[in-house]
Amino acid sequence: MRSRELITFVNDALTRLSRPAAMILAGVLSIAPACSDEAKKASIHIGVISFAEPQLRTDLDQALIRGLRAQGYVEGANLTIEWRYADGDRIRVPQLARDLAGMKLDGVVTTCTPTTRAMATVAPGMPIIMAGVSDPIGQGLITSYRHPGGTITGTATQFEDMAAKLLQLLHETVPNATSIAVLFNPNNSVHKVFLRDIENAAGLLDLKLGKFSIGKLDDIDGAFGEMRSSGADAVLVLPDDSFLFNLRRRIIENLDAAKLPSMFGLREAVDDGGLMSYGESLSRSHFRAAYFVANIASGTSPADLPVEQPTKFELVINLKTAKSLGLSVPPSLLVAADELIE
């Protein structure tokens, strides 16, 4: 029952009851509006800073909005969001961070390592909520998962523990592929760790590994040219990189043209036509980021909010892409898949 309907109901009741009963109901009437006001969440003003172009982040941004709504915050009512996108240009990230740092915000949601670092640099006292950042301890962003110890908290992807698993799944899907190309960003320090683990796994699987770097847009054509020359049979695109995330559709266009099976760490790439992915759901990370926003808005320090690590990793396979490649996915993987795109 809405407050206005409650008031009407009680007023009608007051005219029919004895004075003692009427006094009791009058007390309820005086309390009800106050309780209603206390139940409303105070308005908050937050920022969201993203490396990618907005059209490549629609599902992730919507997941964050759904999460905030679940926490009782709705844009236009008690929530204002400052959306900032670097459109895939790393040079713009520091300026966007400075822009948000100049506002009186209750916190900023960061969506990758570069945006998290940029915000921490220009706004050392502002609460920062990560939405899916890999190896935040190794990158020096937090002290520990349980006790972050500063102004940064949120969700981590744990991709740093999965590089070998990505190669293994690709090998199981394309067992005849003996030469695997790995696309990586030379500017991403985490990718150095991924490459080391993948090289070790390739040795155990007796696979030939080719490493091809994409650090700028112009590198894509050259990388695929070298890949064709090397005789690559399949491609593994390293995850946890905002730059490659933003270029994923260009990469997939080249994969289609070269008729190469592919493995990604992000299901968004499989939605766009990549063959398969394995990893933590970034949509879930963004949805969960709202929990941290709500707790910080309620007065909890980021230092006291443990960083969440994923408890589930999803295997997603695009059967349409498999068919176009003339590839038969092993039944064991079809059964293991969390989602099959048909």
Q: Are residues 130 and 9 in the same domain?
A: no
Quick check: 87 pLDDT over 90?
yes
H helix runs in the chain, sequence order = 3-14, 19-39, 58-70, 92-101, 113-122, 163-173, 189-205, 219-230, 242-246, 248-258, 267-271, 282-297, 319-324, 331-336
Quick check: 23 pLDDT over 60?
no
CATH number, residue 149: 3.40.50.2300
Look at the chain and report how many structural domains it folds into.
Answer: 3
Quick check: 40 pLDDT over 90?
no
Q: Other CB atoms closer than 10 Å to residue 7's CB: what's the count?
A: 14
Round to whole Å and give the CA distance between 123 and 28: 47
Q: Are residues 142 and 228 in the same domain?
A: no
Question: Per the domain annotation, does 309 fall within a domain?
Answer: no
The average pLDDT across 65-88 equals: 97
Write down the pLDDT at residue 51.
96
Instruction: Give the per-residue SS3 of 8-25.
Output: HHHHHHHCCCCHHHHHHH
Write down the pLDDT at residue 340.
98
Q: Mean pLDDT of all residues in the chain? A: 89
Q: Are residues 329 and 243 in the same domain?
A: yes
Q: Are residues 231 and 250 in the same domain?
A: yes
Q: Are residues 236 and 100 in the same domain?
A: no
Q: Are residues 294 and 328 in the same domain?
A: no
The average pLDDT across 166-193 equals: 94
279 Rama class: left (phi>0) / alpha (psi -120 to 50) / beta: left
Q: Are residues 199 and 321 in the same domain?
A: yes
| CB of 145 closer than 8 Å to CB of 133 | no
Question: Per the domain annotation, does 272 fall within a domain?
Answer: yes
Q: Are residues 25 and 99 in the same domain?
A: no
Residue 214: CB partners within 8 Å, gap ≥ 6?
A: 183, 184, 185, 220, 223, 243, 244, 247, 251
Token duo for residue 101: 């740092």
pLDDT tens digits, 233-288: 999 999 989 999 999 999 999 999 999 999 999 999 999 999 999 999 999 999 99
- The region of weakest confidence among 84-93, 117-126, 184-193, 251-260 is 184-193
Q: Are residues 189 and 209 in the same domain?
A: yes
Write down the pLDDT at residue 9.
45
Domain extent, residue 88, equals 44-157+281-304
Q: Are residues 321 and 197 in the same domain?
A: yes
Quick check: 36 pLDDT over 70?
no
Quick check: 170 pLDDT over 50?
yes
Higher per-residue confidence, 19 vs 264: 264
